[in-house]
Amino acid sequence: MARSSADDMELKRACEAGILSKEKAPEKVVMSMRVAKGRTSGGTWAGKAGKLATRHSNMAKPRVLAVTTKPKGQKTKAFLRVLKYSNGGILEPAKVYKIKHLHKVEVASNDPSGCTFILGFDNLRSQSVSPPQWTMRNKDDRNRLLMCVLNLCKELLGGIPKVVGMDIVEMAIWAKENTTTKVAQAASGDGLFDSTVLEPDSQVAVENDLVSQAEEEDIEALLGTYVMAIGEAEAFSERMKRELVALESANVYALMETESVVEEVLQGLEVATICVEDMDEWLGIFNIKLRHMREDIQSIEWRNNRLEMQSVSNVALGEELDRLLVLLQIPPEYEVSLTGGSFDEGNMVKNIEACEWLTSAIKNLEGSNLDPCYAKLRAVREKRAEFVLLKCTFVRRASEFLRNYFPSLIDSMLNDKDNFTQKGLLQRPDHADMRYKCRTYARLLQFIKSLDKSCMIPLRKAYCHSLNLLIRREAREYSNELRNSSKASKSSTPSFEGPAGANQPAGIADSPAEAYSKMITAFIPLLVDESLFLAHFMCFEVPTSDGSDSDEDSTPKTSGSSGSSAKPSNNSSADLGVLNECLQEMLDGIQEDFYAIVDWAFKLDPLSCIPMHGITDRYIAGQKTEVAGYVSVLLDDLESRITILFSRFVDDACFQVEKYERNVKQVGVVPYIPRFSQLAARMEQYITGSRDLVDQAYTKIVTIMFVTLEKIAQVEPKYADIVLLENYAAFQHSLYDLANVVPTLAKYYHQASEAYEQACSRHINLVIYIHFEKLFQFARKIEEQMYNMSPEEIAFQVGMSKVDFRKMLKSSLTGLDKTITAMYRKLQKNMTAEELLPSLWEKCKKEFLDKYTTFLKLIAKIYPNETVTSVNEMRDILANL
């Protein structure tokens, strides 16, 4: 068996040394043991900190528990010290507990081995923090430590703390079986006192037995008092039988002594029996009488109940008939309004109240809202038919009035010239007064729809037809005045025909697109408002919350069967289709006045299509409500028409560019290149929104320009490169500023730059080969033969000897100044753009030097000893010319 750490003297000395390093006064270590420290995870110790303690429940740490004593005056103090190992393996104090504060010792129930216990102290600063668990190697070590602590408590404090989870008696028995005592001296108040120490295989201090000998004898005597001699079942059974016989004999003897008393009781019972019999006869007589009385009472109660029920039924029937009569009677004031009342504005309140009553009355007499027993009554059926006839009469009168009212209202507006644009005075349409008058009959229309939907069709047509006349006249006169009063004149849009200096672009201050903008600004919001008002006013069940103007919020709405036009129902899609048909009828024809403005603006200035397209696009993006769907269709048609007209202008421009291809000969910069830069500059000034339309035009025109330029250059192949480089240079020069801000033009700018470089390279190479043909042909032969033989062999080939090389070199480089001057004149010849010549000549010199450098490298490989003009000498010669 492994030796207990309680017997480890070195451990004791290490504990004493560790304690002495922290404490000034020395302490005696009574016992020290290695333990594992953990935390409780719940139970009575966890308290509020149960969740926090769970984190550390599985983290056991090695510790040493040391029970120490320290004299202080006449008393001795006992401590429980916790020591931990430092990084160097040295014990150092971690915590100290005073034994006098120990109030509970509990063996952990979650450890089946019983080696884990908890020491509870009543002076802990935070009772919410769970105390640590101490786990020993085995149960004997646990008992040694706890017996040592308990004996100290009894010796020094006169009592032991509360013990939970283990039996004190068992502990005492264990102490007797595992202890050989020896006397240890400990300091007491008067000096020394004897302390019992347990020594089985280790030194465990136990000061005294937990139960003394005298106490044990008293307990045995007390238990002996309650011995009942039931050790054998047969003896106990005989004893119980004897006691039962004795008890029965005593009862019989008692009865025999009371015989006289029994006789008196019997006589009394006989007299009582006679009285009971007499009472029974009387009760029988009374029972018969009571039965007759009960039957009479029941009969009376039955008749009374029937009378009471009849009375209650009559009252309820009267009340129900009164309520039914209320449903069946027509109030006189409503009857007048429904049958022959006026529909003037002053009487509309009474008419609306009459409509509400009629709607409610018809609804109350429907089978679903009426008791089935009433639904079959003839009076109810007759009244329902009367109400239906009254409804038809009222709806017919109201519909006829509104069908006449709408045209008369519009006619009054048509006859007033102040409502329309006049010469020199643009008048924006204002329908606020008309809507206010119409809104007076909005509730009436809702009731007409709830009473008879079929009547709404002619009413909607009458309203739309009348309003169409008004809107078309307003649009026609507004459009005519815009065109007549406009200061815009026919613009000289840059053309690709004629001399290059003609067709300078005019300003855009008086662009006809302004007239189009005024037309759109004046009428599109009006048309949207009229569309929304129509949806509300004519009771279309479509969602009209998006984009509805504030005027419509005041439109009255009814509850119940009359419904609200702002709430979509299951028929909203069908109603939306009907609404679009009404909108088309209301606004049909107005597009012609918009088309007239667009066509007029295009004739004056085709580039005005650009701002008109931007304005239209902006209004299309602002249309978010389905109710004004016809307005969106109108805007889409306008956008398509503007796009078609502008495409026609772009096609004409492309056609004018293509006409240059038919010219027999072109010299210098073709006219359409500078004119395109003028056109592009003006187009950029017109852009107000999206530039898609302009970018598409750029793409189409520039593509045709480049294709036509290539075809023009091929008319005279001899001068093709000169034509290309001059025109591509002119394109870059004229569009340099625009290409920095317009991505589409920047793409074609780079394309022209690449084509310019390619044309320059071809023309320069041609000029160089014309004047140094023998030189570079000789170099080409060397390159071709180097594929098949080594450089040393080439000098021995026919025509490639040193003599041949010297002849070629002499013929090519003799009179070099004249040759280079001729090369410059060749570049200058046929060039119309003199400003390009300096840069072209620099490119030519650089290209010639590059080729000459390559030539010298080849010569050095084949004719290493020949003297040839060096690159630097050639560069100096070129620089001096």
User: 779-798 pLDDT, tens per residue?
Assistant: 888 888 888 888 777 778 77
Residue 568 pLDDT grade (very low, low, confident, very high; cuts 50, 70, 90): very low
Residue 840 main-chain phi, psi, to 5 deg: -65, -40
Which one is predicted more confidently, 55 or 102? 102
What pLDDT score was predicted for residue 488?
Answer: 62
Helices 692-713, 720-734: axis angle to 10 degrees equals 160
With vertex at residue 655, the alpha carbon angle to CA 650 and CA 658, rounded to the nearest 5 degrees, is 130
Residue 537's pLDDT is 86
β-pairing, 204-205 vs 192-198, is antiparallel
Integer CA distances (angstroms), 759 to 3, 313, 711, 720, 753, in order: 105, 116, 14, 8, 10
pLDDT band at 642 (very low <50, low <70, confident <90, very high): very high
Question: Is the pLDDT at 560 greater than 50, yes or no?
Answer: no
At how many degrees (to 10) do helices 572-587 and 456-485 cross?
Answer: 40
Terminal-to-terminal C-alpha distance of the chain: 116
CA 632 from centre of chain: 31
Q: Is the pLDDT of residue 427 over 90?
A: no
What pLDDT does residue 700 have?
92
CA distance 566 to 240: 100
| Helices within 47-92 (DSSP H only) | 50-55
What percent of the chain is modeled with pLDDT above 90?
A: 9
* Separation CA 725–CA 835 (nearest Å): 12
- DSSP character for 441? T
Q: How far is CA 401 from the centre of its chain?
A: 54
Q: What pLDDT shows up at residue 253?
A: 67
What Cα–Cα distance (Å) separates residue 632 from each residue in 189, 219, 518, 528, 641? 110, 109, 18, 9, 14
Weakest-pLDDT range from 257-271, 279-293, 374-388, 799-813:
374-388
Confidence label for 224 from pLDDT (cuts 50, 70 and 90): low
Arithmetic mean of pLDDT, 678-697: 88
Beta bridge partners of 746: none
Q: In the prediction, which pLDDT does 135 show?
A: 92
In angstroms, the CA 164 to CA 44 distance is 12
Provide the pLDDT for residue 110.
86
The rounded distance, in Å, linking the Cα atoms of 183 and 197 is 7
pLDDT score at 194: 40
Q: How confident is the model at residue 772 (pLDDT cuts 50, 70, 90)?
A: confident
Distance CA 202, CA 145 (A): 11
In 772-836, which ranges are continuous DSSP H helix?
773-785, 791-794, 802-813, 816-828
Assigned token pair, 601: 């603006």
Q: Which residues of 648-663 are buried (b: 16+ CB within 10 A; e: fewer)?
A: ebbeebbebbbebeee
More confident residue, 857 or 320: 857
pLDDT at residue number 491: 59
pLDDT confidence bin for 585, thresholds 50/70/90: confident
The larger pLDDT score, comparing residue 110 to residue 555, is at 110
**Per mean pLDDT, which range of 211-215, 427-431, 666-670, 672-676 is the poorest?**
211-215
pLDDT (tens digit, 9 = 90+) per residue, 723-749? 888 889 889 988 889 989 999 889 999
Q: 398-418, pLDDT tens digit by residue?
A: 888 888 888 988 888 888 777
Grouping H, G, I as helix, E, B as strand and the rest as coil, residue 128 is coil
Q: How far apart are CA 465 and CA 471, in angstroms?
A: 10
Q: Is the pLDDT at 379 greater than 90, yes or no?
A: no
CA distance 306 to 289: 26
| Predicted local distance difference test score (pLDDT) of residue 641 | 93
Nearest to 32 by CA among 8, 56, 2: 8
The pLDDT score that the predictor gives to residue 398 is 84
pLDDT at 20 over 70: yes
Question: For residue 451, is pLDDT > 70?
Answer: yes
CA dist list (Å): 500 to 495, 516, 650, 673, 675: 10, 32, 19, 9, 7
Return d(Cα 542, Cα 582) in angstroms, integer: 14
pLDDT of residue 255: 65
Band of pLDDT at residue 754, cut at 50, 70 and 90:
very high
Q: Is the pLDDT of residue 320 over 80?
A: no
Task: Say whether pLDDT at 855 is over 70.
Answer: yes
User: Per-residue pLDDT tens for 70-90?
Assistant: 888 888 889 999 998 888 778
Mean pLDDT of 582-593: 87
- Reference 620, options 643, 597, 602, 600; nearest CA is 643
Query: How far is it, in rounded angstroms, from Cα 540 to Cα 535?
Result: 5
Q: Which of 30-44, 502-516, 764-778 comes out lowest in average pLDDT?
A: 502-516
Beta partners for 132? 39
Across 140-148, average pLDDT? 89
DSSP 3-state assignment of 396?
A: helix
Helix (H, G, I), strand (E, B) or coil at 430: coil
DSSP label at residue 670: -
Reported as a pLDDT band with limits 50, 70 and 90, residue 3 is low
Model confidence pLDDT, tens digit, residues 515-529 = 898 999 989 898 888
Q: Which structure tokens are listed for 864?
A: 């290493």
pLDDT at 481 over 90: no
Residue 433 has pLDDT above 50, yes or no: yes
Q: Are 472 and 589 in contact (CB under 8 A)?
A: yes
* Cα–Cα distance, 200 to 632 (Å, whole number): 107
The whole-number pLDDT of residue 686 equals: 86
Lowest mean pLDDT among 151-165, 416-430, 740-754: 416-430
- The predicted-structure confidence for 829-847, as pLDDT tens digits, reads as follows 877 777 888 888 888 888 8
* pLDDT given for residue 337 in this prediction: 73
What is the distance of C-alpha 114 from the center of its chain? 58
Q: How confident is the model at residue 200 (pLDDT cuts 50, 70, 90)?
A: very low
Average pLDDT, whole number, for the chain?
A: 78
Which of 583, 601, 432 shows the shortest CA–CA distance to 518?
601
CA distance 33 to 62: 11
How far is the C-alpha of 148 from the C-alpha of 203, rounded, in Å? Answer: 10
Residue 721, amino acid: D
**Contact, 182 vs 197, CB < 8 A?**
yes
Q: Would the pTM count as exceeding 0.75?
A: no
Output the pLDDT for position 764: 86
d(CA 92, CA 14): 9
Does the pLDDT of residue 123 top 90, yes or no? Answer: no
How confident is the model over 310-320, as a mean pLDDT?
84
Assess whether pLDDT exceeds 60 at residue 571: no
- Does residue 148 have a pLDDT over 60? yes
Give the percent of the chain with pLDDT over 70.
Answer: 80
Report the C-alpha gap between 333 and 342 in whole angstroms: 13
- Strand partners for 28: 69
Structure tokens at 823: 């090369």
Phi/psi of residue 33, nearest 5 degrees: -145, 145
Q: What is d(CA 336, CA 332) in angstroms, rounded to the nearest whole number?
A: 6
Q: Is the pLDDT of residue 46 over 90?
A: no
pLDDT of residue 43: 40
pLDDT band at residue 644 under the 50/70/90 scheme = very high
Rounded to the nearest 5°, which phi and psi values hold at 140? -65, -45
